[in-house]
Structure 1
Amino acid sequence: MKKLWTLLALMLGVAFIAIGVGSTYITPSELITALTDRNASSWFIVHHYRLPRGLLAIMAGAGLAVAGVLLQGMIRNPLASPDVVGVSKGAGFAAVLVIVLLPSSPVALLPVAAFVGAGLAALLLVQLSMKGGMRPNMLALTGLAVGAIFQAATDYILVKYPLEASDTLTWLAGSLWGKGWDEVYGLLPWLIVLLPLAYTLQRKLDIMSLDEESSAGLGLSVKRVRTGLLAVSVA
């Protein structure tokens, strides 16, 4: 826990410095003033541009990190990530569809669409892995195949609609450009619900670090817990 608090303090310190860096450099003392005084010369830049992007970077990073931890514990592979099991590719496919077909849709629709796409990828992953007992190696290999399917579908859309490709590629690559408080408020409810939920699953995740037989011997319903962990990591 001490290491966690140390890392949290380090993250906040780096974020504080990063908010001051840009085309207009803001010194730490000016930044403190801008955060507390609406009449400060840098208040507009900080509150309308840099602060929401800084918060969004922290929130998105936290969500991706927790998703990765859940998948690594579930598959028992330190290299596992949402990309490896095809979840990110499913989310990207759904988001690209919304960007291309519904360009004037509200900001809140994009994460919902991405969640649906990731959920479809996860559902396909579970169904295909059932025959192998949803064992870690089966999940990883099946996830690579599922990801390839959704990546091919995404590439087809990008080729079919080249004029919209710039917006979709920016989203797929990940960018804070042009982001503001709307995106922060859109992401916040997801983290408020999911981070505590992920925290409550930590003991089951520890048990799953053992082999299948040992986990079942300790009273854990391995398949059900693995499906639940996958669902939370997808969200």
Structure 2
Amino acid sequence: MDQGQISEHGFNYMLDCVIAMKEALGDKVSLALDCGPGWFLPDAIKFAQAVEKYNIMWLEDMLTGDYVPWVNPQAYRELTQSTSTPIHTGEQIYLRHNFKELIETQAVRVVGPDPADIGGIAELKWVAEHAYMHSIMMAPHGTANGLLGLGALINVCATLPANYIAFEYPSASDPFWNEIVTGLPSGPIVVDSHVDLLPGPGLGLDIDAKAAKRYLREEDAGFFD
């Protein structure tokens, strides 16, 4: 994503979008915004302060996040200290050690590790508990993980401490995933904003090798043999 200063017109347009969404949602559904990355710190501070009165659940990845191989906790800490709007990041941070400064310096109000990026379920659980000890909330990322990632998030989030808010809901990245993954309920997965634990062992989901074979590339034809 290209980075640059936000124009006055662009800033006002984004603010109008927030106002319109809040008018539509009221106070029955919380609004969280994925904001980047790509913002410079002054624009991020200005926007976070401008939306304070709209009670945004969080502003995510304003400074770093997607495709950015660094965290920059010092800048996030300045942003967080400048506003009452909760600031969120963490979706592409690898291992618990790279969350340490974010958490221990109160650089963000919400962390969002992804079980596929952080290094697995155990790493995510450790970060959630460390964040809990520092009064930081947990809202894990997961949009690109597909159905196996959904199984991982359902299971790990059922074990998280009281700082857990919600997880970002992954779905089938290609329609055929619904044909090759077993263990999903026959009806809706999300009911009244809640997801039941899957009854199967492990992640609760598995790959149907026979169904999956027809989608393998020629060079991978023996993958399930």
Q: Which has the higher contact order (CA 8 A, sep 6+)?
A: 1
Q: TM-score, normalised by structure 1?
A: 0.25
Q: TM-score, normalised by structure 2?
A: 0.26
Q: Which protein is richer in strand relative to its size?
A: 2
Q: Which protein is richer in helix relative to its size?
A: 1
Q: Which has the larger radius of gyration?
A: 1
